[in-house]
Amino acid sequence: METRLFVVELESSELGRLSELAPELALRRSVPLLARLAEDTAFLEAYALPLLGKARRAENWYVAHRYEAEEDSCSLEVFVWPAGTTTEIHDHASWGAFCCAVGSVFEERYERLDDRSKPGRARLRKTWQRAWSPGDDASTVLPGDEGIHRVGNPGEDPAISLHLYGPRVGEVDGRDYDATRDYVCDRAVA
């Protein structure tokens, strides 16, 4: 299937249907979809592999392509990770899944230990970490505290990952955390 047609079909059918499902079911259905895209040579050649040359510079990273279904619905995003880049610790206001398509990405997961009684304060503990490579299962998160993580590329070569996010729950895009200061703040919708 021609790549652009694949993306159009994906946007109009599967992404829209995923947004109507309960988060746990949507995640179960999104994992094989991401695996299919990560193995689709035409998709990778059109939307991911050309970005590797640009990914050698750290200022050209993060979301390289975004495909939105209906407003406030699902989105498919292609992330580019130059060597040494990482996100802050964060959560999402939606369910989400990602898989590695090129190279290797690293994920750290956290749990929140405080009782949420103090605005702007959050005490975290790292619960696990893992490197993700092409062919691995997808990593999944649920909204809010059920998906606090940090993702990055500590390696020496660029990496590319594919991310699928469900509709946002609430007015913010998620929260950012600074574990060194026990700090948390809302992240505005971009």
* Tokens read off for 118: 């103090």
Contact 124, 112 (CB under 8 A): yes
Q: Across the chain, what does the average pLDDT equal?
A: 85
Please state which CATH number belongs to domain 3-187: 2.60.120.10
Overall pTM surpassing 0.85 (yes/no)? yes
Angstrom distance (rounded) from CA 143 to CA 163 = 15
Q: Which is nearest to 138 in space by CA: 163, 167, 104?
A: 163
- Per-residue model confidence as pLDDT tens digits over 58-108: 555 666 667 676 666 788 888 889 888 999 999 999 999 999 999 999 999
Residues 153-164: tens digit of each pLDDT: 988 988 999 999
Domain coordinates of the chain in residue numbers? 3-187
